[in-house]
Amino acid sequence: MKRRDFFKKGLSAGIIAGTAITFGKYKNLFAAHTLPPEDAYDLVAVKGGEPVEMFDKAIESLGGMKSFVKPGQKVLVKPNIGWDAVPERAADTNPSLVGRVIEYCFNAGAKDVYVFDNTCDQWNKCYKNSGIEKAVKDAGGKIVPGNNESYYREVEIKEGKKLKKAKVHELVLDSDVFINVPILKSHGSTKLTIAMKNMMGVVWDRRFWHRNDLHQCIADCSTFCKPDLNIVDAYNVMKANGPRGVSVDDVVQLKSLVVSKDIVAVDAAATKIFGLEPDDIPYITKADEMNVGTKDLSKLNINRIIM
Amino acid sequence: MKFHALKKLRVIISLLFFLLTAFLFLDFTNALSYKAVNIILFLQFVPSALLFVNLLSYTAIGFLIVIILTLLFGRIYCSTICPLGTFQDIIIYLSKKLKINKRFTYLRKYNWLKYSILIVTVTTFLFGNIVLINLLDPFSNFGRIFSNLIRPVYLFANNVSVSVLELFDCYYLYPVNLKTFVLFTFIFSFLFLIMIIWMAIKGGRIYCNTICPVGTLLGIISKISLFRISIDESSCNGCWACSLTCKAGCIHGGEKKIDYSRCVVCFDCFSSCKLDALKFKIAFRRKKKLIPPKEPNNNRRKFLITTGIFSLSLTGLAFGKNKIEDFRKTNIPENKQHPVCPPGSLSIENFTTSCTACHLCVSACPTQVLKPSFLEYGLIGMMQPHMNYFKSFCNFDCVDCSEICPSGAILPISLEEKKLTQLGKVNFIKENCIVETEGTDCGACSEHCPTKAVYMVPYKDNLVIPEINQDICIGCGACEFACPTKPFKAIYVDGNPIHTKAKKPEKEILNEKIDFEEEFPF
């Protein structure tokens, strides 16, 4: 482990240093390129289309995937693949959406796109039966196991109140771009699981969270795991018996999608779509208080698209 | 000579059986379909016979085919199909190559011992006690050696490869941590391995010809087999060369006689005979039954005494079985009264009387919830697998163990049926629960429950706390596994001695009308 880290870090440090020296004088050129437009939306909400179409609209209004993924970058796409369930059960992120996100990443020039989840059910059955494994492979991405502690490295969470350190999957730490693709679902213990709750799938020891104030740990983790983009799948939504669900009877079709860089805002918007208020969900309130993002949607520049 | 080809054929077929069977016990990817597994194990004698008893179906007539094969050609089961037999042959081959032991010799018979073992094994089985089959069956012992000793090494090698590939950003393989290690089974398998290696080096197929009940049974049949290896007395000059190559120690060079009850028809002897005096042919002349020539009375006496002692000591064990329900020590706060046996096994009694503890299900279980037991089922159930919810849980949409169990201890069960089969019942200890002790939300148990037999209800301070409905619980252990409390769980599954049918989870009707034209609520 240590030796590998050393090589990796050494190598990336070298590349960064080299790139900085080489492109130093063109710095302004790069900056101009990455600067967001004046009227950039903070959040996009889409409704009434198929998952893939809705994402097309959403990403277009955010300036395309190239605003998030640069050529040659290593991208991590993190859906919710927690359960061994078929897509109709809406226990896992819609596979077609995951596939589409990966395609966009490659079109933007991504070198590699990785996908994993630290699942609740037997991981390889989840990957297979959720349809996500196939979607990832078809789109040219790499599906990576998250089932073993050896993939996780301990990090310090400086702003954490309860969760002060955690073992985080190496892909979260080593990727250039981190795209969070959760699904909106009801949840027995936290009422809802959306984007912040999806971060429980990038850490190893979830039992610690459950023992030590679950809501606070979720907010704490979001101070460290900061996705560059959050894409909430609210097409088929599990309205009852979440997060696992019992049957398709738990699912209601809401045909919605919410996209934002702000993980708290995206959770707040999805909560409202579900029919609850952000303050009903303690972790959203806590994360807002800790300045992870904002739950107050009135402060944001929102693009609302009804298809 | 043409007979030499027989040995080559035997070696090829036996290696095929050996490698395929070994792979089944090592594989953690479930690469082969259950149909392939069933075909590979179709001819394994003891599992097939037990499956036949359990199913009474033509799909389990492998053992009858073995008997017919034995009637035709002698003990070819022992030389080609039995994986433990081939394993010994490999040891013997290596010991010759490494010059540890280069030659064998004619061995005296231990008929009293082997027939005692056979009779006691069969008798105790008829009385519902499987423990001797469990300890002596060559297939199950082979399974245990590979599952408990070699599989950990295999997994370790896999995990090392994973780390190496990971350096190159390749995630093709995945690591697996062993959750099923049990010291007792490990030691038992290890001692058995040492014993069988020592026996094989010392005198070839000693295990097969003195201890193995399958070998003894097929030995009785092979005495009257149609084809036999015979010595042409007119060509033979009594040089003993064949005796010295015979790993079964069954050829008496001086008397020019072969003990067919011990001959495993390996065809090794053919190449040793320079005079081509050995033939594999239809035995026209039935020689008189091989009555032990010396001290027959003494042997019979020994036989009776041994049988008596064995039977007596084992009846005790058979009685112990009935006490299984009281066996669990109650000094554990979870207060589990019964172990949990896998779906398809119907009841603890059915399971413990049919399982030969070959550990194929332990190897195949994707979540590794099946773990060899020590005393969970009592003495007679030693090493038979049980559901270990401390380390894992039974995946809701999975019936892998029921599809591959070769002995019918876990009978085939459909997925729909499994989802309504109650292996045990959930119990909740509120005093241990995080929500009660810490005053914070948790709900890990309810999250993982596939039927919502564990569900969350409002509690003080805007919290939610688990509540249970045993009627729809199937005892999969997901709640117990997920429960984060230490060292004792707040929620656990207590096994049902007899599996029952769980009620179907009630459907919640969600009457939500969605207007897709409506504005967003923000």
Per-residue pLDDT tens digits for B129-158: 899 999 999 999 999 999 999 999 999 999
**B431 close to A (CB below 8 A):** no
CB B139 within 8 A of CB B45: yes
Q: Minimal Cα–Cα distance from B143 to chain A, Å?
A: 24
Q: Is residue A260 scored above 70 in pLDDT? A: yes
Q: Is residue B310 scored above 90 in pLDDT? A: no
Per-residue pLDDT tens digits for B68-113: 999 999 999 999 999 999 999 999 999 999 988 878 888 888 899 9
| Rounded CA separation A190/B443 (Å) | 8
Pick the residue of A246, A280, A285 with the most B CBs within 10 A to test the interface with B by mutation.
A246
Furthest-apart CA atoms within chain B: distance in Å: 105
| Rounded CA separation B521/A131 (Å) | 31
| Rounded CA separation B210/B290 (Å) | 16
Q: Is residue A263 scored above 90 in pLDDT? A: yes
pLDDT at B328: 31
Average pLDDT over residues B456-469: 94
| CB-facing half-sphere around the CA of B427: CA atoms within 13 A | 17
Please give the CATH topology (third level) of the domain spanning B324-501. Alpha-Beta Plaits (3.30.70)
Q: Tell me, letter by letter, the H, E, C secondary structure of B411-459.
A: CCCCHHHHCCEEEEEEEECHHHCHHHHCCCCCCHHHHHCCCCCEEEEEC
pLDDT at B313: 54
Phi, psi of A96 (to 5 degrees): -65, -35
B517 contacts A250? CB cut-off 8 A: no
Percent of chain A with pLDDT over 90: 84
The 8-class DSSP code of residue A203 comes to B
Write out the residue limits of the CATH 3.30.70.20 domain(s) in chain B.
324-501
| Rounded CA separation A58/A65 (Å) | 10
Q: Is residue B322 scored above 80 in pLDDT? A: no
Average pLDDT over residues B282-288: 62
B520 contacts A255? CB cut-off 8 A: no
Q: Which residue of chain B has the CA closest to A193?
A: B447
Q: Which residue of chain A has the CA closest to B479?
A: A120
Interface of B with A in 253-282 (CB under 8 A): none
Interface of B with A in 134-173 (CB under 8 A): 159, 162-163, 166-167, 169, 171
SS3 of residue B507 by DSSP: coil
Q: Which CA distances in Å does B409 have to B346, B349, B352, B356?
A: 9, 10, 8, 8
Q: Minimal Cα–Cα distance from A82 to chain B, Å?
A: 10
Phi, psi of B245 (to 5 degrees): -95, -15
Average pLDDT over residues B283-294: 53
| Rounded CA separation B198/B175 (Å) | 34
Nearest CB among A47, A210, A249 relative to B444 is that of A210
For chain B, the helix, strand and coil percentages under 3-state DSSP, each to the nearest 5: 50, 10, 40
Average pLDDT over residues A264-284: 96
Pairing of the two strands B454-458 and B464-468: antiparallel
Per-residue pLDDT tens digits for B4-39: 789 999 999 999 999 999 999 999 988 899 999 999
Q: Which CA distances in Å does B39 have to A184, B24, B30, B126, B425?
A: 45, 12, 15, 27, 36
pLDDT at B512: 76
Average pLDDT, chain B: 88
Q: Given pLDDT bands bounded at 50, 70 and 90, which one contains residue B436?
A: confident
Q: Is residue A14 scored above 80 in pLDDT? A: no
Q: Given pLDDT bands bounded at 50, 70 and 90, which one contains residue B486?
A: confident
CB B21 within 8 A of CB B41: yes
B522 contacts A269? CB cut-off 8 A: yes
* A19-28, B3-12, B98-107, B260-269: segment of lowest average pLDDT: A19-28
